[in-house]
Structure 1
Amino acid sequence: MSGTRRRLPRRTRLSGQSFNRVLPNLMTLLGLCIGLSSIRLGLDGRFGDAVIAIAASGVIDGLDGRLARLLKATSRFGAEFDSLADFLCFGIAPALVIYMWALEPWGAIGFLPPLMFASAMALRLARFNAALDSAPKAAFAYNFFTGVPAPAGAALALFPLLVGLEADKLRWVYLREAVGYPLFAGAVLVGAALLCVSTLPVWSFKNFKIPATSMLPLLLGVVVFAAILFADPYAAGALLDLAYIVMLPFSRRSFKRLAAEAERRRHPVLEPEEAAAP
C-alpha cells in the first residue's frame, strides 16, 4: 500500500444569494398574492376589500423596484417577474372584479370588456419590456410613460366600483344603479384599456422636480388627501381617478413643449443677419 494518500475531490459548495438580493422579489411575490386575493374577495362579494387588496398590491409594486435599486439587487429575472405580477394584479384582477360586480348579468357580452382590458394590459407591459432594450431616448422622454401605466390603468378601471361603494355607503340608490349599469362599467373598462395601449405621453413623476415655491401647497394637499383617504377611502380613490384623467392633457402638452425645445437645441434657427453672413 502506498504511503501517499490519495486526495479526494472537493465537494462543490452550493452558491446562494444574499437575502438583500432576494428581498425585492419576495416583495413582488407578496404583492402578487395580495393582488390575486382580490379575485377571491370578489367571488365572496366583498368588493370593498377587493379594491383595498388591489390598492395594496399597487403600493408594493411602487416599492419593490425602488428597494431593488437601493440594495443594488436589480436583475433581469426581477424585471420579468415584476411584469408578470403587474399583469395578474392590474390586468386580470381588476377585470374579473368588475365583471363579477357589474358585468356578469350580460353573460358572454359582459365578458368582452374584461377580456379587452386584460389583453390591453398584456400588450402594454410587453411594449414596456421591449422598450428596455430599445435605442436611447432624449433625456426628457425618460420622465414620461408611453400610455397609462399598469397600476393607474387598474385604478381607472375600478372607478365605477369606487363610486358604487361610496354610493352604497351614502344610500344614493340612483347613483349606485347608474355606475353599476353594465354599459357604463364596460365602457370605463374599455376606455382604460385604450389609454393603456395608447401612445399618450404620461408623466412618470419619478424624476419630477418640484419648485420650492410649490412645496408648501403640495405638502398641504398631501395632508388633506391623506385625511380624506383615511376618512373615506372610496371617495378618495374616485377623486384621484378624476384628477388623473384631468392631468393627462397637461402631460401631453408638457411632452410636446419639451420635445419642441429639444428639437430647437438640435437644430437652432439662425437669425437673419447670421443667415445672410458669407
Structure 2
Amino acid sequence: MSNPVNRFYAKRKKKRRWSEHGQAGPVTYVVPNLFTTGNLFAGFYGIVSAINGHYDRAAIAILVSCVFDILDGKIARLTKATSRFGVEYDSLADLVAFGVGPGLLMYLWALKPFGRLGWLAGFLLVACGALRLARFNVQSGTGSKKYFTGLPIPGAACMVATTVLCLLKIKGPDFSPVHIVFLLETYILGFLMVSSIPFDSFKELEVIKERPLPVLFVLVLLVTVVAAQPSVMLFIVFSLYVLSGPVRYVYRRVKKTRTAENGSSMHELPKENGSSAC
C-alpha cells in the first residue's frame, strides 16, 4: 500500500501541474456551479411562491435567477472553468427557473380561468423553453456570437416576470388579470423561443470598445431611470427587447425584397432599351 503522505504530495503536485499549464483546478469548477445552484434555488423558490399565491415574490425570484444565470457564465469564462458538466447543469437549472417557474406563474396568475387553453399555454411555454435550450446546446460554438437564434429563454421568463410586477404595481394586488392578452402573450413568447428570428446577444458590442465613456454614461442613466420605477421600467426594457427581434427581422426581409426588386429592374432596363431601338 502507498504511504498517505506520498498520496498527499502527489495530489499537490498534480494541482501544481494544472496551474502551470493554465488549467483550472477542481475548486475553480465549483464556483460557477455554486451560482448555477443559486439560479436553481431561486427558480424553485419562485415556483413555491407562485403556488402559495405570492406572485410578486415569484416574479422577483425569476429576475434573481436571471442575475445568477449571467454570473455563472461570466465567472466560468473568466476563471477558464467551463466544462461539459457545467453546461448541462446550467441547462437543467434554466429549465426549472425560466421554463417551469414562468409557465406555472402565468398559469396561476392569469390563465387558470381559461381552463384547458390556459394550462396548455403554460405547458407550451415550458416545452418551447426546453426546445430552445436543447437547440442552443447543439448549436453552441457554431453560430454568430452577436445574435441568438430565437428569443433566449431568460428573456421570455423576464418578460413574464416584469408583466406581473408592472401590473401589480399599477393596478394593485386586487387586480384580476383574466384577459385574452395574457393568453396570447404566452403563446407568442413560446413561438419566439423556437423561431429562427435573431435577437441581440450583447456579447460583442463594438460601440463599447470605441466609445467607453458615452456608453458608461448611458448605462448609468439607464440604471438611474430603472431604479426610479423598477417594475414599470423593467417591463418597458424587456418589452423593447422582445419586440426588437421581430421588428428587425421584418425590416431586413422588406429591405432584402426591395433590393432584389431593384436589382431585377436594373437588369431588365437594357433589354427594354434595346428592343425599342430596334
Same fold (TM over 0.5): yes
2:188 aligns with 191
TM-superposed deviation, 1:205: 0.6
Q: Is the Cα–Cα contact under 8 Å of residues 106 and 182 in structure 1 kept in the other structure? A: no
Deviation, 1:132, is 2.8
| Contact 1:110 1:182 survives alignment (8 Å) | no
Aligned to 1:167: 170
Distance 1:243 1:104, change over 3 A: same
Determine the structure 2 residue equivalent to 1:106.
Answer: 114
Q: How many residues align?
A: 240
**Pair 1:212–1:129, CA change in 2 (3 A):** closer
SS in 2 for 1:72: coil
1:156 aligned to 159, 164, 171, which one? Answer: 159
* CA distance in structure 2 between the partners assigned to 1:251 and 1:214 by the alignment: 24
Q: Distance in 1 between matches of 2:97 and 2:69?
A: 10
How far apart are the structure 2 equivalents of 1:71 and 1:84? Answer: 22
> Structure 1-normalised TM-score?
0.76
Equivalents in 2 of 1:195, 1:72: separation in Å?
A: 32
Matching of residues 112-127 of structure 1 within 5 Å = 112-127=120-135
- Residue 95 of structure 1 is aligned with which of 98, 103, 120? 103
Q: What's 1:26 paired with?
A: 34
Contact 1:91 1:121 in 2 (8 A): yes
**Cα 1:239–1:248 shift into 2, 3 Å:** same
* Contact 1:38–1:49 (CA under 8 A) maintained in structure 2: yes
Residues 187, 142 of structure 1: alpha-carbon distance in 2 compared, 3 angstrom cutoff: same
Is the contact between residue 98 and residue 153 of structure 2 (CA under 8 Å) also seen in structure 1?
yes
Structure 1 CA distance, aligned partners of 2:30 and 2:163?
A: 37
Q: Give CA deviations for 1:213-240 in whole Å, capped at 9, x if unaligned.
A: 8655543432333223333221122111
* Post-superposition CA distance 1:65-92 (Å, at most 9, x none): 1101111111000001111111111111
* Equivalence for 2:90: 82
Aligned equivalents of 2:250 and 2:105: distance in 1? Answer: 34
What amino acid is the match of 2:234? G
Cα distance change on mapping 1:237 and 1:211 into 2, 3 Å:
closer
Residue type of the partner of 1:202? F
Match of 2:56 in 1: 48
Which amino acid counterpart does residue 162 of structure 1 have in structure 2?
L
Counterpart in the other structure of 1:38: 46
CA contact (8 A) 2:63 2:161 kept: no
Q: State the partner residue of 1:73.
A: 81
User: 2:104 & 2:182 partners in 1: Cα distance?
Assistant: 12
Which residue number corresponds to residue 57 of structure 1? 65
- CA offset at residue 251 of structure 1? 4.7
Identity %: 33
Amino acid at match of 2:237: L
2:80 is paired with a residue of what secondary structure?
Answer: coil
The gaps in structure 2 that reach 5 residues or longer are: 16-24, 257-278
- Runs of 5+ consecutive residues of structure 1 not aligned to the other structure: 1-7, 260-278
Match of 2:18 in 1: none
- Deviation of the 1:166 alpha carbon: 2.2
Query: Quick check: 1:131 aligned with 2:131?
Result: no
Change (3 A) 1:193 1:76: same
Q: Distance in 1 between matches of 2:225 and 2:61?
A: 19
Q: Are 1:206 and 2:203 counterparts?
A: yes
How far does the alpha carbon of each residue in 1:81-121 deviate from its partner, in whole angstroms, 9 at most, with x for none? 11111111111100101111111223333101100010000
Contact in 2 for aligned 1:34/1:54 (Cα 8 Å): yes
In structure 1, what is the equivalent of residue 235 of structure 2?
A: 238
Decide whether the 8 Å contact of 1:160 with 1:185 is kept in 2. no
Contact 1:156 1:188 in 2 (8 A): no
